Structure 1
């Protein structure tokens, strides 16, 4: 799986949570270097979601400069800001090394604790 494919898989995990919670997803940006990845709305309140994804045994990490950049955007648009950290493992891997290499079209274990609010301001 390329870094872009891995990133997009993490976005799909967060997207599903938003839809399941009744959010209207307005925009999704799957480029790795674009933040936030998801813009959604519920009850006339906008939320910005930064998604970072990593391979087993790691989880996606939010860099402080990205958090600051998205917080400024959230303040500007009176939006809430969330971070979704996703870890993906190859479910058919028999060793640590194999589990750390998810394969397109394969089976996966997803490590995801939901979106965490980011402090703004």
Structure 2
């Protein structure tokens, strides 16, 4: 039996999906970081505007989720570099799965269903909750 993708592999597949979409739409991709703990993952340029993209991937039926601290960190970085910030949520399923449980286990080198709706506007800055 093939190995189920680990989080790093899942994350990198999501980045590849977003990268291809951006190149197809005319973005010049300047840098890609595939590490799980680095945000944003993609730095690109289009029409003399810089774009920072946070990519988060999830196992079927989930989509990738962006955390409030990542939103705030990347927004500050975007302001500093006069970049537009985007979020890309990618859901990945095992295309050969017959049940939800099997679909939730994409395998390395396998076939996939991809749930990706394109670049989404970055959420607004989130204030920390007061205790």
Please confirm whether the aligned pair reaches a TM-score higher than 0.5, indicating the same fold: yes
Question: 2:93, 2:124 → 1: CA distance?
Answer: 32
Q: Structure 1 residues 101 and 119, CA, compared in 2 at 3 Å: closer, same or farther? A: closer
- Bigger CA radius of gyration: 2
Shift, 1:25, TM fit = 0.3
Question: 2:61, 2:27 → 1: CA distance?
Answer: 30
Question: 2:21, 2:44 → 1: CA distance?
Answer: 11
Alignment match, 1:98:
102
Runs of 4+ in 1 over 3 A off after TM superposition: none
Alpha-carbon RMSD: 1.0
Shift, 1:107, TM fit = 0.6
The answer as to 2:33 corresponding to 1:29 is yes
TM-score by length of 2: 0.90
Q: How does 1:33-112 map to 2 (within 5 A)?
A: 33-112=37-116
Give the length in aligned residue pairs: 121
Question: 1:95, 1:117 → 2: CA distance?
Answer: 33
